[in-house]
Amino acid sequence: MDNALLAIGLPAVLIGFATLAFMVHRELGPFAGLNVAGRWLLTGLFGMGFVAFGIKMAVALAIELLPEQTIAPLLAMQAVAPRGDEQFDTGFINPAPARQAHYVWEALPEAAPEPADNPGNAAKVALGQRLFNEKKLSGDGTLSCAACHDLYTHAGADARPTALGIDQQTGPRNTPTVWNAAFMSRQFWDGRAATLEEQATGPILNPIEMGLSTPAEAERRLRQDASYRQDFVRAFGDRQPITFERVAQAIAAYERTLITPDAPYDRFVRGDATALTPAQLRGMALFESVGCVLCHRGPSFSDAGLIGGESAFRIFPANATPYEKQYELLLDGKRGVWRIASLRNVALTGPWLHNGSVDKLENVVRIMASAQLGRSGKLNAWLNDDRQLGKADRSPIGDKEVADIVAFLGALSSDRLVAGAGKGGLISGGLRALLR
């Protein structure tokens, strides 16, 4: 193929240059009154433009015909896994999964799945709720899980850029909501915990979060309380000593009840054609056509969801974007690997992203369109896992499109949580409008 291109292209370039020289010397030069030197100078200037155009066309042709040799090396991306206390296997990290031929919209189930080794019951859930709000589980007795996960005023988050822990220490990450965490296959921003049980122990023992020294200390404090001894017996059905493992199990059982299947989106998917506004319907269509569903799919609106999820992690930012410096998106100058966040109740859980650097949902949409979908200019791109090259629209999405997508994201908010946030006086006029 290379020889064929050379055999065709080289004679074409020579013929074109000869034709250009003839036209300048016999027609354009005399018309402009140029001497011989001027004619050759003009020929050279036109010739450079002609050659530049030829090179550009050759590169475009090579990209189309020889993608393995041209584009494939550019797809290799340097990424770094976020720092965490535990190592984990991310498996295959695909920044651009295949687009589904027909996307299926799903409502959130009414109940979360339970593990076989920790079935829930009313007593265990009640104990877990008590432990979720228990300040004895912090080093100095001032914090509980609920301190960073305000269930109703802040929709299970804390409205801070990053978490505020014991002794007023500021953590490095934005607080994820606990609502619908039961439907996620990975917990924490870096996904280092695979279960709610595993996640529950992390903040309690983290020195900059709740700061408790050891699991034994948690057990000692709870055993001193006779009412806790009774609650553990009711929850677990025996008189075994209170253990840190059972503390985690009870909290996890409670968190599996924190689900919100009552969003306008869910009502729409279940058959209520009036549940979404025209703007939200337009945003829903754009959410699919722009490509947001490539990562935020399934009833959890996350590929890290237990239902419909396939690849829990993504490189972020996947594409070079002008937002990198503005919002400090890189880790030590490198791209990070993050669990895909759920978009359930996302309109209520700002500020956003792993570092809480974005305080407007509209800007989150623009950042993700640019960083993850490459919507910052027109270019050829890999469109699917079959390594087929195609042309995709990569122009920035417009303000009207952004507004419609934000309106749709508002439709993912639980009616109950919207009411709770409203009572706290924390919903702005603009946000209140999109949540109607």
Active site residues: 209
Encoding tokens for residue 321?
A: 């974007």
And the tokens for 310? Answer: 């396939």
388 contacts 382 by C-beta, under 8 angstroms: yes
67, HSE (Cβ side, Cα atoms, 13 Å): 12
Q: In angstroms, rounded to a whole number, what is the distance separating the alpha carbons of residues 398 and 9?
A: 40
Retrieve residue 133's tokens.
């709000």
Q: In what order do the strands lie in the sheet with 79-80?
A: 79-80, 335-339, 313-316
Long-range contacts of 359-363 (CB under 8 A, 24+ apart): 361/406, 361/409, 362/402, 362/403, 362/406
- Say which DSSP state 91 is in: -
User: What phi, psi does 354 have (nearest 5°)?
Assistant: -60, -25
Max CA pair span of the chain: 108
Helix (H, G, I), strand (E, B) or coil at 85: coil
Q: Report d(CA 405, CA 292) in Å as an integer.
A: 10
Q: Are 317 and 62 in contact (CB under 8 A)?
A: no
Determine contact, residues 373/290, Cβ cutoff 8 Å: yes
Tell me the backbone φ, ψ of residue 94, rounded to 5 degrees: -110, 110
CA dihedral (86, 89, 94, 98) positive or negative? negative
DSSP state of 180: T
Q: Which residue has the tokens 């914090």?
A: 143
H/E stretch holding 234: helix 226-236
CA distances from 291 to 99, 104, 214, 375, 397 (A): 8, 14, 45, 10, 12
135 touches 142 (CB < 8 A): yes
What is the phi/psi pair of residue 315, to 5°?
-70, 135
* Positive/negative CA dihedral, 356, 362, 367, 369: positive
Residue 232, SS3 per DSSP: helix
